[in-house]
Amino acid sequence: MIKLKEIKDSVLHLLFPHVCTGCGSDKINNETVLCMRCMDAIPETNFEQHPDNPVEKIFWGRLRLAGATAQFYFTKESLVQHLMHQFKYKGNKELGLQLGRMMGEQIKKSGRFDVDALIPLPLFPAKEKRRGYNQAAVLCEGMAEALKIPVLDKTIIRPQHTETQTKKGRIERWKNMEGKFILSDSSSIRNKHLLLVDDVVTTGATLEACGNVLLQAENVKLSVACLCVASR
Ligand SMILES: [Zn+2]
């Protein structure tokens, strides 16, 4: 019986080779999309363990946070850049789930993020439709497995640009909409410590805009977690 399964597995592997998204190696088990070597090669920041880390500093004086972190360094021409491209533009959702689980495990281990629920930073609806998913929501799904807390993906929404806003110039209109978020269900987050999640943090402007809207709900505590941060 076991033999039959082995034969079936090797035939399947020939037809649909299961290889590492990072390096193409087939030394990888079926439950994962990254081999051990690639997982070890992703440069970790360990920011989750350190108060006053560089990601927290981005938000000082701008957004009232209990804590903030980004798990990996993003550098050009790197493994992380390749993975981000696969995840964001090539529809590799499995990879996002695995990266989310890695984020969740690290955050849990740090003991610094006593959070009750995950909030993915919403994408514009048209962008999400084009991409097939919101990458932040996929990360949250993976993180939720590790952290055992719910994902609230309907709490805050990001309205689509509308062509009726014709009075403003295109750039100005875009800037206006970039920072626009609407709290659709404030009762679901009342008295909670929320972890707002996105894939990359650079200037923090979008997270700041979204976070400040979440903080309008009654007695909300807020933290931020991103998959990666651009290293300078
Ligand atoms: Zn690999």
Phi, psi torsion values for 161, nearest 5 degrees? -65, 145
Euclidean distance between CA atoms 10 and 145, whole angstroms: 30
Q: Give the number of other CB atoms < 10 A from CB of residue 149.
A: 19
115 C-alpha vs ligand 1 centroid, how far in Å?
A: 32
- C-alpha 123 to ligand 1 mean position (Å): 29
Alpha-carbon distance 65 to 61, whole Å? 10
Q: What's residue 3's pLDDT?
A: 79
Q: At what angle do helices 205-214 and 170-178 cross, to 10 degrees?
A: 50
DSSP E strands in 37-99: the ranges are: 67-74
**Segments of the chain with pLDDT less than 70:** 1-2, 12-14, 16, 161-179, 232
Q: How far is the CA of 175 from the centre of ligand 1 (A)?
A: 39
pTM of the shown model? 0.88
Q: What's the 166 CA to ligand 1 centre distance in angstroms?
A: 49
pLDDT of res. 2: 65
- Looking only at Cα atoms, what is the longest distance across the chain? 71
Render pLDDT for 53-104 as a digit per residue (tens, 0 to 9).
Answer: 999 999 999 999 999 999 999 988 899 999 999 999 999 999 999 999 999 9
CA distance 175 to 169: 10
Q: What are phi and psi of 146, to 5 degrees?
A: -80, -40
- Count CB-CB contacts under 10 A for residue 42: 18
Give per-residue pLDDT as tens, 116-132: 999 999 999 988 999 99
Position 142, amino acid: G
Ligand 1 center–CA 10 separation, angstroms: 20
Q: How far is the CA of 46 from the centre of ligand 1 (A)?
A: 21
* pLDDT at residue 170, as a whole number: 63
Place of tokens 């805050």: 156
Give the number of other CB atoms < 10 A from CB of residue 170. 10
CA of 44 to the centre of ligand 1 (A): 16
Ligand 1 centre distance from Cα of residue 80 (Å): 12
**Residues 156 and 207 sit within 8 Å (Cβ to Cβ):** no
Rounded to the nearest whole angstrom, what is the distance from the C-alpha of residue 39 to the centroid of ligand 1?
7
Cα 22 to averaged position of ligand 1 atoms, centre (Å): 5
Residue 202 CA, ligand 1 centroid: distance in Å: 27
CA triplet 21, 70, 81: central angle to 5 degrees?
35
The whole-angstrom separation of Cα 32 and Cα 148 is: 20
Q: How far is the CA of 184 from the centre of ligand 1 (A)?
A: 41
Ligand 1 mean position, distance from CA 78 (Å): 13
Model pLDDT, residue 176 = 61
Give pLDDT, residue 133: 95
